[in-house]
Structure 1
């Protein structure tokens, strides 16, 4: 009887290298997830990812467990959300100012004051421009008696709920002035702003604490002083209705 041949045994392969290899892959995966989370604007989603991977990993401390909130890892992660909220607030504020602008423009059309009054909506607020020849005589700072009613009607247009900060500013052309009352265009522009504001604040519905007056003289022209029409545009009073949260101290214009 033939002798049975002994079956050849297959050598055992050492697979101990798989353990550190698997750990390395896990760490790399965790690293990519962390980098993704740091670049993501949604911190809540990153927390959910971290929680899911920690739950799937066994043994030892989870590689995505943080001893502090994710905001502490990178405060800028939450900044986009805050910026988004600020942008939405700004858009809402601009919308409200545009409604005030529509009301003033309707008044301008009704009184046929186009070319004398104009409104401009900017990031700085709602700007109402009044040419000085419908308020003041040349070289004078007191509002003409015939135009006091106009100033009072404008004060009614400035009644808002909630109220806003308002800056009244006076501007002149560059033609020098020096008389018994005023020694400079700057002096004249300041007094025009103050006297016009006084009439506005005769309206009890306006809060004097929210109003301020400035004078810029000839130093903030909106047109060339080389022509008569340009100088006329530069002689003006401006009312700047500020956005919410901005005060006259914050506004440098």
Structure 2
């Protein structure tokens, strides 16, 4: 009686040994899919992801659907930040271009004001204006203000210097550079050892006359002397040398370049 019951129990036992190779097969398939997935682009971040996937697969801790995104979160954020930086730089460039255009228009308006003064006083042969990338340039021939070889503004020309000062009153104010220039003929009078010194003192003395106008702030002004080293014409002719002997007023843009 007891022998029959034991035999029946053995017949109902199910052999589960086939589960072991089946589990190994699933593990290998998982590893294969991970390798195929990552083989399209190999980098340090994906290599670490593969390493973590292998560890999880063999440890049985992570399922296929629990695997992280193929694009690391940090990389996604980096891409977004890069896009925002590019957009921001583009907007800044467009804003700078717009400000530059507005400033050029304002300088052009000042130029028209100076040109009106030149035309009204018949000074077209002695004063010239030009709008450059550096700003508005007003060029004054030296014989408008100075005697040959002298750095002192002539008494009779004080009025011209005063009227030019009125033209430099602007709202809002701008920085102004006054520079002196000469031809390449060596200077022969005692007060100056070189054309360089003559050009510097002409710029400074003219600036002093301009600053007699109390509406102008001296902190806006600076003076330079270039001597013979920035000619605008050939020094081989008397006409060219006359053009090179000049004082220049450079009205700078407020926005800079």
TM-score, normalised to structure 2, is: 0.70
Larger Rg: 2
How far residue 180 of structure 1 moved from its aligned partner, in angstroms, is 1.7
Deviations 1:134-172 (A, max 9, x none): 110000000000001100000000000010000000000
Matched, 1:198 2:235: no
Structure 2 residue runs without a partner (length 5+)? 1-32, 38-67
How many equivalent pairs are there? 198
Contact 2:136–2:252 (CA under 8 A) maintained in structure 1 = yes
* Aligned positions of 1:132-171 closer than 5 A: 132-171=142-181
Alpha-carbon distance in structure 2 between the residues aligned to 1:132 and 1:179: 17
Structure 1 residues 92 and 218, CA gap change in structure 2 (3 angstroms): same
Q: TM-score, normalised by structure 1?
A: 0.71
After TM superposition, the structure 1 = structure 2 runs for residues 182-221 of structure 1, keeping only pairs within 5 Å, are 182-221=192-231
Q: Is the 8 A contact 2:129 2:138 kept in 1?
A: yes
Task: Please tell me whether the aligned partners of residues 178 and 207 of structure 2 are also in contact (alpha carbons under 8 angstroms).
Answer: yes
Residues 64/141 of structure 1: CA separation in 2 closer, same or farther (3 Å cut): same
Which of 93, 99, 103 matches 1:93? 103
CA shift for structure 1 position 72: 4.1
Match of 2:189 in 1: 179
Q: Which residue of 2 aligns with 1:42?
A: none
What is residue 75 of structure 1 aligned with on the other side? 85
Please give the alpha-carbon distance, in whole angstroms, between the structure 2 residues aligned to 1:154 and 1:64. 67
Moved over 3 A (4+): 60-69, 71-74
Corresponding residue SS for 2:111: helix
Q: Secondary structure at 2:169's aligned position in 1?
A: coil
Superposed, 1:225-236 pairs within 5 Å as 225-236=235-246
Q: RMSD across aligned C-alpha pairs, in angstroms?
A: 2.8
Matches within 5 A, 1:29-40: none
Higher relative helix content: 2
